[in-house]
Structure 1
């Protein structure tokens, strides 16, 4: 039922300064129910209908605590000083009282549903049996009708819904704490909570008629499955004061304590789903009003990538590795129509440089089409990558695909989301949303294809943070592509295995692992994961682009390594080199040594997170431009902005790149020779993918060394000794150069050794947090990126634009109006981030600007703190770190 405030002229209670409470509650309820209703869930028909009703009831009760006189006075107060004082009072806060309303009403809903089901079940027992009717079909229909409404208190999901709803509403304006801590607080602080609640409820006396009208209109909504559900305000408030607080503090505590004996993750996923539905609906209504970002889902043709590949000449190009790319693509596409839709965990495990990005996108689009056609729902495609250094690269490919398909720029089709992304959401009709609205839509993943980071994806799954969990509901019914999945820490394999299993089985999602070096998170032999291509072994074994040479019989110091590199660079004046090192300090030292050689016709590049992102991205683009010029021999369309020299001369210049590990996976860079400081096997394999990537006429060479300083080998500063040990064990079994055709077997043996020997302590700790709804503990324990020391973000004023952005940042900090301040911050967010690096606190403590948390280096200070080639100046060898 659509409710308009104009129908009821007596409404006066407000939820926001410009919004009536009845409008907000009704809208959030309807949005919440709509999100659940559109999802195909494997929780049972009855449970799905109950979840729809519970989501609706959470929406229409989540802000009932705002009906107190205290909150109404606060929301209408214009004096900011007085408002701050009022906000600090317990009686003004609405979250806990709203949660009690939600708990009481949902509990009453379930009681009435159970009573009705028992009544109808009793009625069905006295009805005609199969023997009386002589119809087996009629008997089965009757049994189905009974089971669809039968409810029992058996410790299942339904028993937990009242307390889950309480937890969600209690924290809909904050972050989650452990469920047990939440109910214990109600128990231990019961008397104080009752006193505050009594005062708040008494303050509602003058508005009882309006509250009754709100509840009568919203609770009797005709979208409810329990058509005759009714409540009475007096009975609800009486129960809150005389029973609900006691029940939550005692009965629900016992219920939650039982979770300690369970390992089932379904309850965690159901809660996160409901919580995210409420957050999404609430923020959408508060930020966008009547607009519904999901009301106009857009279609995408299944053959978008097919047409793109044809228009770009991929199919007809038989040079280098292109025939293999075409073969892999056709192999993957051939299986889509015959794919068993019950197989929801998939793998695209093919060699580096063979077009995994386009192949996985095309497979996802075709699978999306099948699910729409056969199952009646249209999945979003979520494409997640581990490294920011490659997210722009892959996003640009998707943009190009859509543009070739005739689609104008439209964020509803494609958006990029990570913490440094530009805050801009646009429609093809040239409508661009305001900064705060854009942020709301970006963070809600309101698009058909979302390109994001592992950080965003995994912390949406495993977090207590309100802001991150809001998009959890978008994971349901989605096709999730995890590109370069080998980057997932092995300590979390079991956690990710179990979580993805629940997500796929209960929420009808599909997960595609994309990598050349697939970790054994799922067991292919046991049927847990299905390979998209049929000839995987053949594709790996047929390659002969490179050979891997192990030069690890003894460790080298940097002076020895620099001398060796110098000799090789001079001996091969026309070859491109890539040198990947483990620490920032060793990389900068080797780079300076290369520069000191003053090699002719050579472009040198240094890449590390020590360099501001803007320059780092430009350098990667310059490297690719040189390759493109060499490959095409056509410079007409090459436009370069780095000032490194005339385009027509670049085709005669070779490149020497010195980098940290940020380049090893996914970055589309090609070299003839690759030197790699020792690392785990998957990292060695990945960086090998940067060598002779496009299968040139001469075989490439990847050489692996063990480098050290005066204290230890550099790999000991960076990598888990367990992974290093397993790599050494595998490589000791190999003699002579390793051919590319042997990489798959080598990688499989490595990951089997890792799985066999690894501990699963961290996974088990996190799984225990999930099963016990220990949200805060989970947030402390799950760390996708381990940091052994504190870090500081530093803004570096490397050019005139940075100087202007810093002035705008200071202007934003001085802004008194909160709304204007947020808007100014969002407008400079992307540009600001392009000049920010993260460095160990011990190097940057003195640079922190005034009372902010960010360091600052002005243009005048650059000579002291920042080198325009190698970036932030650090002290001491081995102090660098792998930063992804």
Structure 2
């Protein structure tokens, strides 16, 4: 009787262990080839379910099918340890060499972790979760599993040859002339191998469940050729426009042409510093498509700071490329699987399993996602995140508004980009009008020499000047009452005013205060308490009012600054970092449609910035620069938006936060960079402690704490939870998620739900629970707001007392 990997729910068809292991091996090899580690990835694929070669697992899965209403306890049979144990037994107890030992550790960790997350080789308590699995755990049928593997999957001789090739790949990988820290590169390699295994395993399992032999593969090369032709046609059409030969439009065309020419350079890390309104999205897309064509890149990924920008940029690109199907928007994980440890499969596929298999691996040709999601791929717990990592290789990755990298993540961000450049053959573009000094910090970004795509930047910045920054911040302090009067006074001079403040609470209060005055023209509110679909609807209304030249006020948090295409006559910005002031200025007279307009920088005394340290410090540095310029107008290039002022700002900013750049974990009193790249040489006390406890040296080459690091990683300090909101189509999504659809249906629903989610801080989630404002879906794996917990004006309502008709928009 065959050993069983899976039994299909629809027809009870069996997938044997041999079929599954060889299929996953083949898929993993194809993913691994991108880094030149085909055999390392394949080794993980063919050993990951070695433990299913056991009578115990066969009995378990048959029992689960025969008794679907009372199946055996999920995870009661450990089938993921055996593959890692085999590698440890062969390459760590007999003929030990560094290369094969490292292969055993890198691949073995991925194997034993493929139902949860990578284990610690040595954790801060000086225990080895890895060793407790591969060395100490007893498996009753381990000998049977090994014998079956060598009989049915690969002979012992071929297996040793295969591992030898994997060891050669690892040696070549580490011999890269750019490598300065083997442990750092091995950390990324381990995560890459883990990513290939997770995706290959889940993809093969899903294909078997859907009774399909393989994935339909899009011809990306042909697609990028078509896209480039369509973009070129669009750009040529601009040249026929009556205003095509104005100085500004001629400069836009020149910068776009420079990006096209720059695409012929080899892959690397480059900067694109087009000022706001300079056509950055199209210019970067032009670079990306041409570079992808010339250098055979597999996908183009746009990484933006906020979900707000995703829909706008994606829609703009869709219209130009005339393709609805192949452009993916990934806002956030509607479902988190950080605590998953689904070791075994029952006969009837559970919701948890369907959610795990739902396609969510970033294999689209063009992807729009956020900085949070990008960093989560590399550093956050949960196999859903890391599954996407291998698809970042051989890509063009464009970071829009890169200055928004969170301070605590600067070193981690730089290291991830260096890995993608040096090993993963990706090309990186840092896109912003305010380039941060990422090559100034300790773990610096390896930016290419002559990295800037645009020539004569100072001239370009001057040519694009459309606003005057008026310093109101260094001589008076505003409250909401005074600010409301100031806004009203400006509305007598201009048609439209945008006010950007630093906290949601003052935004909401100013909005309510202005509403009470009943000025007779529309006033809009924007914040992250509203889901993306809601914000987009408000922004569409705002744009329509602006295009009509109607009188309008908009009060917003900083979410409107980065990449949102709106143009007001006047902008009032609460004092913050220079980059934020520059971004705010980009929402004023954006297209130079009027003569020079005013951007007022004010000091708002009612903002509580105690929990917003980055904004607080940025505000202090900006104030110092403003004072310098007030004293002598030749300081810092003469104005606060100059390249000199911006360089000074970021160097002071990073110096102020120097101790935070490496993601310090207070609870452990360690930096994450140390946990991820610890070496036995550098941290030799690890070994001495291990000798005291175990009476022998740590029998491993690696000492990294992958799992501990991931458990403590949150891009945003306060861990948030995504919830679906009952706004427009969000209602239908919530209702449909209560059903029991197929994996394909679930994949579509989760994708659709992206635009109807908001993120809750812990205290918000607790308040909503107290007020019965939350509903649980999918056995508690997904949360949604009740009708009363969402309001058409403000979005989230913690009191859960919004009238039902508040959503009837």
Q: When the two structures are superposed, what TM-score results if normalisation uses the length of structure 1?
A: 0.72
Q: Which residue of 2 aligns with 1:28?
A: 24
Which of 485, 505, 528 in structure 2 is aligned with 1:609? 528
Report the Cα offset of residue 533 of structure 1.
Answer: 1.5
| Alignment partner of 1:291 is 2:242 | no
Q: Which residue of 1 aligns with 2:677?
A: 771
Which of 589, 592, 598 in structure 1 is aligned with 2:512? 592
CA contact (8 A) 1:678 1:704 kept: yes
Q: Secondary structure at the match of 2:716?
A: coil
| Uncovered stretches (5+) of structure 2, i.e. residues with no partner | 9-13, 168-179, 336-350, 664-670, 679-703, 800-809
Q: Which residue of 2 aligns with 1:749?
A: 648
CA contact (8 A) 1:346 1:513 kept: yes
Q: Which residue of 2 aligns with 1:329?
A: 256
Equivalent-residue separation in structure 1 for 2:136 and 2:165 (angstroms): 37
Change over 3 Å in CA distance of 1:334–1:535 after alignment to 2: farther
Alignment of 1:374-413 (within 5 A): 378-403=297-322, 408-411=323-326
Q: Which residue of 2 aligns with 1:530?
A: 451
Which of 332, 335, 343 in structure 2 is aligned with 1:419? 332
Post-superposition CA distance 1:353-392 (Å, at most 9, x none): 11111111111111222223xxxxx342221111100101
Q: Which residue of 1 aligns with 2:378?
A: 461
CA contact (8 A) 2:398 2:429 kept: yes
| Alignment partner of 1:691 is 2:679 | no
Post-superposition CA distance 1:238-277 (Å, at most 9, x none): xxxxxxxxxxxxxxxxxxxxxxx96741111111111111
Post-superposition CA distance 1:377-431 (Å, at most 9, x none): x34222111110010111112212221xxxx5433xx322232689xxxxxxxxx
Q: Secondary structure at the match of 1:698?
A: coil
Q: Which residue of 2 aligns with 1:213?
A: 151
Report the Cα offset of residue 336 of structure 1.
Answer: 3.0
Q: When the two structures are superposed, what TM-score results if normalisation uses the length of structure 2?
A: 0.78
Report the Cα offset of residue 296 of structure 1.
Answer: 4.6
Equivalent-residue separation in structure 2 for 1:504 and 1:704 (angstroms): 39
Equivalent-residue separation in structure 2 for 1:399 and 1:855 (angstroms): 31
| Uncovered stretches (5+) of structure 1, i.e. residues with no partner | 1-9, 42-47, 115-152, 230-260, 373-377, 423-433, 631-650, 876-884
Equivalent-residue separation in structure 2 for 1:500 and 1:445 (angstroms): 18
Equivalent-residue separation in structure 2 for 1:186 and 1:269 (angstroms): 17
CA contact (8 A) 1:304 1:362 kept: no
Q: Which residue of 1 aligns with 2:114?
A: 172
Which of 508, 532, 543 in structure 1 is aligned with 2:425? 508
Change over 3 Å in CA distance of 1:442–1:309 after alignment to 2: farther
Bigger drift between 393-402 and 751-760 goes to 751-760
Change over 3 Å in CA distance of 1:717–1:106 after alignment to 2: closer
Post-superposition CA distance 1:655-683 (Å, at most 9, x none): 21111111111111110100111211111
| Alignment partner of 1:661 is 2:646 | no
Q: Secondary structure at the match of 2:472?
A: strand
Bigger drift between 488-497 and 663-672 goes to 488-497
Q: Secondary structure at the match of 1:80?
A: coil
Which of 561, 565, 570 in structure 2 is aligned with 1:673? 570
Report the Cα offset of residue 580 of structure 1.
Answer: 0.9
CA contact (8 A) 1:98 1:169 kept: yes
Which of 549, 555, 559 in structure 1 is aligned with 2:477? 555
Alignment of 1:297-316 (within 5 A): 297-299=220-222, 300-301=224-225, 302-312=228-238
Q: Secondary structure at the match of 1:707?
A: coil
Change over 3 Å in CA distance of 1:167–1:667 after alignment to 2: same
Report the Cα offset of residue 722 of structure 1.
Answer: 2.9
Q: Which residue of 2 aligns with 1:568?
A: 490
Structure with max Cα Rg: 1
Q: How many residues align?
A: 708
Q: Which residue of 1 aligns with 2:281?
A: 357
Bigger drift between 537-546 and 846-855 goes to 846-855
Change over 3 Å in CA distance of 1:826–1:84 after alignment to 2: farther
Change over 3 Å in CA distance of 1:723–1:356 after alignment to 2: same
Q: Secondary structure at the match of 1:579?
A: strand
Post-superposition CA distance 1:495-552 (Å, at most 9, x none): 3223322331222222110001110002699955711112222111223300111111
| Alignment partner of 1:193 is 2:178 | no
Report the Cα offset of residue 727 of structure 1.
Answer: 1.8
| Alignment partner of 1:718 is 2:612 | yes
Equivalent-residue separation in structure 2 for 1:808 and 1:441 (angstroms): 16
| Alignment partner of 1:80 is 2:68 | yes
Q: Which residue of 2 aligns with 1:625?
A: 544
Change over 3 Å in CA distance of 1:668–1:228 after alignment to 2: closer
Equivalent-residue separation in structure 2 for 1:172 and 1:526 (angstroms): 34
Equivalent-residue separation in structure 2 for 1:502 and 1:768 (angstroms): 17
